[in-house]
Amino acid sequence: MYYFKTLETILFEENPQKKFDTFTYFYTQFLNNEIVFEKEYLPLGLEKPSYDSFLKIVLPKEVKQRKYFDTVEGKAKLLHTICHIEYCAVDLALDAAYRFMNLPFEYYADWLEVAEDEIRHFKMCEKLLHRLGYQYGDFEVHTNLFEAMKKTTTLLSRMAIVPRYLEANGLDQNPKIMEKLKSNPDETNYAILEALNIILEEEITHVQKGDRWFKYACKEEQIEPEQTYLKLLEEFYPGSTQKKQSLNFEARKKAGFSCDELKRLANSESCE
């Protein structure tokens, strides 16, 4: 089984179940060292999201957000949002493992492992969504994560923006959602809390992987990581480093952020 050609098929697959089943078989072959890496391969650009055919896509401002999760519909919308983030994260991990050539074997192993985690996260949340009587696709979605994938065409920018910025932002937001769920305790909210706790712990390792390979790319290009990171954030998200932010310092430190970096990102004098 060829590595890049098979991964390309999985990445472009529009049927979720087929995507997941094919990946599971491919990943088993990968772990058993039964994969052949092509010496020369030209990756294709992904012009539209793999979910384009079965989800209703709208502008980000048109996706209605709920502040409270005290109704069945509110819980379902929250779970649908998480499902969509996780489904996008599957493609982001697959694309990271497919898009960039001639890297150490450990790089590809890292992002395939992330893809497996994200599939498991998606299925876990989709199961809870089904329990409420809803399906993935019942609510509108936006393409912010897909657009980030399209724009980050180098290893340096991809590792900085996707795991180290967007996914790291998830480390900040997850505990806030969990606090809201705790304020309305019931059986469903406890189940969602359990899922979010699993996701939070495992997403820390994903950001760690992004941190590792971002610093690898910086070393290869002989550039300083922390200033390069801030520069890239401003390039892709102007003004993002100027806001005073509430960060999950503990989780971000575990993921590889330095104290000086966190103080700069939070515009704070402390990283506690």
How does pLDDT run across 105-136, given as a tens digit for each residue? Answer: 999 999 999 999 999 999 999 999 999 999 99
Residue recorded with tokens 């379902």: 76
> Residue 202: pLDDT band by 50, 70, 90 thresholds?
very high
> Residue 40: pLDDT band by 50, 70, 90 thresholds?
confident
> Residue 174: pLDDT band by 50, 70, 90 thresholds?
very high
Structure tokens at 225: 């990581």
Structure tokens at 42: 């030209």
| Confidence (pLDDT) at 183 | 87
pTM for this predicted structure: 0.96
| Confidence (pLDDT) at 66 | 66
Whether residue 41 is predicted with pLDDT greater than 90 in this model: the reply is: yes
Can you give the residue ranges of every domain in the chain? 3-266
Q: Which amino acid is at 24?
A: T
Please state which CATH class domain 3-266 belongs to. mainly alpha
Check if the beta carbon of residue 7 is closer than 8 Å to that of residue 94.
Answer: yes
Q: What burial letters (b/e) apply to 242-264, b meaning 16+ CB within 10 Å?
A: eeeeebbbebbbebbbeeebbbb
